[in-house]
Structure formats: C-alpha cells, structure tokens
C-alpha cells in the first residue's frame, strides 16, 4: 500500500480505469478449470475444479499483498487494508461454483471483476479510506449441495455449520466431507468476518437489458423464492396387464402437479414464475407403471404475500391429488428466501458509478437468487447487472461480451469508490 499522504491517496479516484483485456484474460483462464467440450464449465461446489479455481484466486490475491482468510464453510475473504482500519471493509465478489452445464460468466464475473478492482487500485497506488474485501462465497448454485447460497447463508446466520456439513449430494457425499477433501475447511468461525457493505456484480441471467439496449442494471432487490421437494408414491405394476382404471400411476400424478405449477404461475403473472426442474422416476422401466416420482418445485415472486398464496394453492393441489387418485403425496418446503430490498446508499453508489462511466441504466429486481440477498440481512448491499446474450444462463452457451464485462467492472470500481467517499465524509 502507498503512503496515505500521497497525491493518489488524496484524490477521489475519478480517473481510475480497469484493464478490460486483463479482466477478459482472467475470465478465459479460469474457464479452463472445469471447462466442457461445448465451451461451458462444470465446476461444482467443492469439486477438484472448484479447488483449482480457489487456489488460483488465492494466489492472485496474495500476489497483491492481500490477506486471505477462509472460514469454516469455505467462504474466502481477501482483505486489502485502507487508511482507516476502524472502518468495516467494503466487500465485493460473488461465487466460483457453476451448474453442471454452466457458462463462463455466472458468478465468476463478480469475483474476477473484484480482483480487477484490486489490481487497478494497486497499480495506481490508490488507498481507500475503508479496507476493501474480495469475497468468494461457497456453494451459491446449490447444484451439488441444496439449498443454494449455502455459504453466504451460513455467514448471515440463516443456516448453521452443522446444517451445512450435513447436506448431501446425489452420491451421498456430505458437504463437510467434501470441503475437507479439497482442503478448504478454514479456521475462521462462520460469520466472524465483518462486512461494512457488499456490492455484487453479476450477469443478468435474463433478456431485459439486451432487449432495451441498456448496459447496466441497477438492482434494487431480489424477488422472494421458495423451493419444495415432492414425493409421489403409487404402485408399480405391469404396463400390459394392468387396466387403466386400476392403476396407481405416480408419474401421472406428478404430471398433474407439473401442470398445476404452470397454472399457479400464470394466475399471478406477469411477475410470478414457477418451475419443476428435476424429475426422478422409479423404477424407470419402459414396461413398468411408475411407482414413485420425486420432483422439485421452484416458486418466485417479488411480493412475499403473493408467494404465500402460490404456496397455498400448491399444497391444496397436492392434497387434492392424493385424495382423488389414491396416491401418497408428500410436499416439503426446503428453502425460503424472502423478498429483499437493497440499501438506498449502496443503490445510489451504483447509480453514481454508472453515471461516472457514462453508461445507460435501468432499475431492476433480480429474478434469480444471489448471495447478496442473504448478506443484505446483515450489511448494506446492492447489485450490478450486465447483459446476458439471449437471456441465457445456466447454459454452456451463456455469453456476455468483453465490453459488457469491462463496463460492469468499471461501474463496480466507481461504486466502491463512491461508497467509500460517502462513508468517510458523510
């Protein structure tokens, strides 16, 4: 770090600019860690590919003189000191893990843009008043260990370490064993690293910014979301010798629930969405009537009251199905993330950052869950969106241009500096 009396340290950093090529090179380098034949990434949480990306990030932060702390659920915190150690750090970052067929930008753009912020400040010899902290949250996707946003949820006190450790993947591997296996069970107690604020840059994962020709989304909050696991149990029987009227077909019952999820969402449009994204049929044989089906339901809406009404109708449909068909239907809510409203000061800093960069914006509520939603419970928070080509995400074809990535990183840098100035002088 440089002397706080230096000219750079005394300025506002208005002329600081990130290095777009270096950011893009970092994105492409890390895309090889878990890279797929179709150009995407499979970097599941706590896998060997996740460990490789974590090791790379730790080395890059250490090279800048940052102190890297890892907590007991694997969350990583890289600290750059400020002129005022009495101030809580301004944090920024996202996640390194991906879906099984994920893309190059979901999550990691926010981490690598944060790294680029640190590199830019280091090159300029610019010291902020507050310390800065780059964060990588563990298991944001929930693709391997449900629920999603597990690491940030433990940090915010939504879950405890024991709950996290007990999560199992589809092979029966426990989260606690997986984190030990890759060497990222840190010594810091969960939640012990303090945050003064959090900014998270992310791709939109939707089509709105692209459709409107806007470069930056100023995210004012996150819609509420609930996940459910449903088990439908019927009776296995021969498909050729069992009359239609004497069947207890679990898949037929599950199909009726799938169409009901669609109907529930249409009844609360345009904001409501509902998805059945996972379906497991047993015994899964061509000539056996399915005896058991497991499925997941994902309901989302910006208004918690509407979300409650959607759940009420879903439960009623499950009960009616069991009563009418003779099937056994068990429905359990496994995750509840209430609607989130981000901090006005952080939102203002993002708007200021976009204006300083001369970029067109629009206010947005995030349709997807993000770590910032949990951190908003314990610290001032906001998010920055950049476009996703065709609205695609959770897809190997996910695409955001180098220029859009650079724009998001520049707004992130500007927002951090604006927030730092407001905190020091406000």
Output the pLDDT for position 24.
Answer: 98
Asked if residue 211 and residue 301 are part of one domain, the reply reads no
pLDDT tens-digit readout, 213-236: 999 999 999 999 999 999 999 999
Q: Looking at the predicted structure, is the pLDDT value of residue 4 above 60? A: no
Output the pLDDT for position 324.
Answer: 77
Asked if residue 391 and residue 330 are part of one domain, the reply reads no
Asked if residue 196 and residue 258 are part of one domain, the reply reads no
Q: 45 lies in a domain?
A: yes
Q: Looking at the predicted structure, is the pLDDT value of residue 383 above 60? A: yes
Could you identify the residue written with the tokens 């910006």? 302
Q: 1 lies in a domain?
A: no
pLDDT tens-digit readout, 64-85: 999 999 999 999 999 999 999 9
CATH of the domain at 273: 3.30.70.360
Distance CA 232, CA 247 (A): 14
Asked if residue 146 and residue 23 are part of one domain, the reply reads yes
Helix, strand or coil, per DSSP, at residue 296: strand
Q: How far does Cα 305 stand from its chain's mean position?
A: 23
Helix, strand or coil, per DSSP, at residue 298: strand
371 neighbors 94 (Cβ within 8 angstroms)? yes
Q: 243 lies in a domain?
A: yes
What is the overall mean pLDDT for the chain?
A: 95
413 lies in which domain range?
Answer: 7-223+339-425
Among 321, 337, 353, which residue terminates a domain? 337
Output the pLDDT for position 426.
Answer: 54
pLDDT tens-digit readout, 181-194: 999 999 999 999 99
| Per-residue DSSP letter, 129 | S
Local confidence band at 378 (pLDDT 50, 70, 90 cut-offs): very high
Least confident of 217-221, 367-371, 400-404, 421-425: 421-425
Among 317, 337, 357, which residue terminates a domain? 337
Mean pLDDT (whole number) for 337-364: 96
Asked if residue 390 and residue 288 are part of one domain, the reply reads no
Least confident of 151-160, 246-255, 318-327: 318-327
List of residues 6+ apart from 84 with CB closer than 8 A = 129, 130, 131, 424
Q: Looking at the predicted structure, is the pLDDT value of residue 7 above 60? A: no
Query: Could you tell me which of 236, 366, 235, 225 has the C-alpha nearest to residue 296?
Result: 225
CATH of the domain at 53: 3.40.630.10
Asked if residue 113 and residue 12 are part of one domain, the reply reads yes
Q: 2 lies in a domain?
A: no
Mean pLDDT (whole number) for 305-317: 98
Q: 163 lies in a domain?
A: yes
Asked if residue 81 and residue 206 are part of one domain, the reply reads yes
Output the pLDDT for position 377.
Answer: 96
Asked if residue 177 and residue 117 are part of one domain, the reply reads yes
Q: 406 lies in a domain?
A: yes
Asked if residue 71 and residue 49 are part of one domain, the reply reads yes
- State how far the alpha carbon of 238 is from the alpha carbons of 246, 249, 328, 329, 342, in Å: 11, 11, 20, 22, 55
Q: Looking at the predicted structure, is the pLDDT value of residue 47 above 60? A: yes
Asked if residue 118 and residue 105 are part of one domain, the reply reads yes
Asked if residue 354 and residue 331 are part of one domain, the reply reads no
Local confidence band at 369 (pLDDT 50, 70, 90 cut-offs): confident
Mean pLDDT (whole number) for 132-145: 98
Greater model confidence, 4 or 351: 351
Q: 416 lies in a domain?
A: yes
Output the pLDDT for position 425.
Answer: 64
Output the pLDDT for position 368.
Answer: 87
pLDDT tens-digit readout, 139-167: 999 999 999 999 999 999 999 999 999 99
Show the DSSP H helices in 273-383 as ranges.
304-325, 344-356, 371-375
Q: Looking at the predicted structure, is the pLDDT value of residue 13 above 60? A: yes
Number of domains in the chain: 2
Asked if residue 289 and residue 377 are part of one domain, the reply reads no
């Amino acid at each position: 770090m440089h002397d706080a009396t230096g000219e750079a340290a005394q300025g506002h950093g208005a002329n600081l600019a990130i290095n777009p090529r270096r950011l893009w090179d970092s994105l492409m380098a890390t895309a090889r860690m878990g890279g797929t034949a179709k150009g995407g990434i499979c970097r599941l949480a706590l896998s060997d590919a996740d460990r490789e990306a974590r090791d790379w990030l730790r080395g890059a932060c250490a090279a800048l003189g940052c102190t890297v702390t890892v907590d007991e659920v694997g969350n990583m915190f890289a600290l750059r000191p400020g002129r005022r150690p009495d101030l809580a750090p301004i944090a920024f970052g996202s996640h390194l893990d991906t879906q099984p067929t994920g893309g190059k930008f979901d999550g990691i753009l926010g981490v690598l843009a944060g790294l680029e912020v640190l590199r830019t400040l280091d090159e300029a010899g610019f010291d902020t008043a507050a310390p800065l902290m780059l964060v990588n949250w563990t298991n944001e996707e929930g693709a391997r260990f449900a629920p999603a946003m597990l690491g940030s949820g433990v940090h915010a006190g939504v879950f405890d370490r024991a709950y996290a450790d007990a999560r199992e993947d589809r092979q029966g591997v426990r989260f606690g064993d997986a984190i030990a296996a890759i060497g990222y069970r840190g010594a810091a107690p969960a939640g012990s690293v303090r945050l003064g604020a959090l900014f998270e840059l992310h791709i939109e994962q939707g089509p709105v910014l692209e459709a409107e020709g806007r470069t930056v989304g100023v995210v004012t909050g996150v819609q509420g979301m609930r996940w459910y696991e449903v088990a439908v149990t019927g009776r296995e029987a021969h498909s050729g010798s069992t009359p239609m009227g004497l069947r207890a077909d679990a898949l037929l019952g599950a199909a009726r629930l799938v169409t009901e999820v669609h109907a529930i969402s249409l009844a609360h449009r345009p904001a409501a969405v509902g998805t059945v994204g996972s379906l497991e049929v047993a015994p899964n044989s061509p000539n056996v009537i399915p005896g058991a089906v497991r499925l997941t339901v994902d309901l989302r809406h910006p208004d918690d009251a509407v979300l409650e009404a959607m759940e009420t109708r879903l439960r009623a449909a499950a009960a009616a199905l069991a009563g009418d068909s003779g099937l056994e239907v068990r429905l359990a809510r496994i995750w509840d993330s209430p609607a989130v409203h981000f901090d006005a000061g952080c939102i203002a800093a993002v708007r200021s950052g976009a204006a300083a960069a001369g970029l067109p914006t629009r206010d947005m509520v995030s349709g997807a869950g993000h770590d910032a939603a949990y951190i908003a419970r314990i610290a001032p928070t906001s998010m920055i969106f950049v476009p996703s080509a065709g609205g695609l995400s959770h897809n190997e074809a996910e695409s955001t241009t180098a220029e859009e990535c650079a724009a998001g990183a520049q707004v992130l840098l500007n927002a951090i500096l604006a927030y730092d100035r407001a905190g020091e002088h406000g």
